[in-house]
Amino acid sequence: MIAEETGGEIFSIQTVSGYPNIYDEHTATATVEVEEDARPELIENTEELENADVLFIGFPIWWNRAPRAILTFLESNDFSNKQIVPFATHGGNGLTNSQNELELLYPDYEFLPGFGVRGGNVEASETNLQDWLTEIGF
């Protein structure tokens, strides 16, 4: 929806090892990454991002935090000349803790106010998403 509304292109952040497709195994892997504050290795090809002024970075929230692969992505690139806009799905606690963590870890990056939506409400959030995009200048 964001790409459609802004005319942006989609870039996928992918880990080298991937994540299991079985929910319990996936969450177990995610739990270990969060507990160890891991930085999973990424399949990197960010040349196409060099000309972008704004990066909308989307992720699921794991235990009130961005997945550690997002941290790998932000640490592996110099985005100090770009605006970064986080958006995420969550289970009920919102985006606030994740956005605060990102802003604390990466003080040289310019973060715009992000958007969070409960995982089961994504399809019904289009109006809220459009309002948010307008509020932040898109």
Residue type, position 137, single letter:
G
Q: What is the CATH number of the domain that holds 124?
A: 3.40.50.360
Domain span at residue 105 reads 2-135
B/e letters for 91-114, b = 16+ CB within 10 Å, e = fewer, are: eeebbeebbeebeeebeebebbeb
| pLDDT greater than 90 at residue 63 | no
Across 65-83, average pLDDT: 95
Asked if residues 68 and 41 have their Cβ atoms less than 8 Å apart, the reply is no
Q: What is the pLDDT of residue 99?
A: 96
In sequence order, the β-bridge partners of residue 60 are: 89
For the chain, give the mean pLDDT: 94
Beta bridge partners of 115: 87
What is the pLDDT averaged over residues 109-138?
A: 95
The count of structural domains within the chain is 1
pLDDT above 70 coverage of the chain, percent: 100
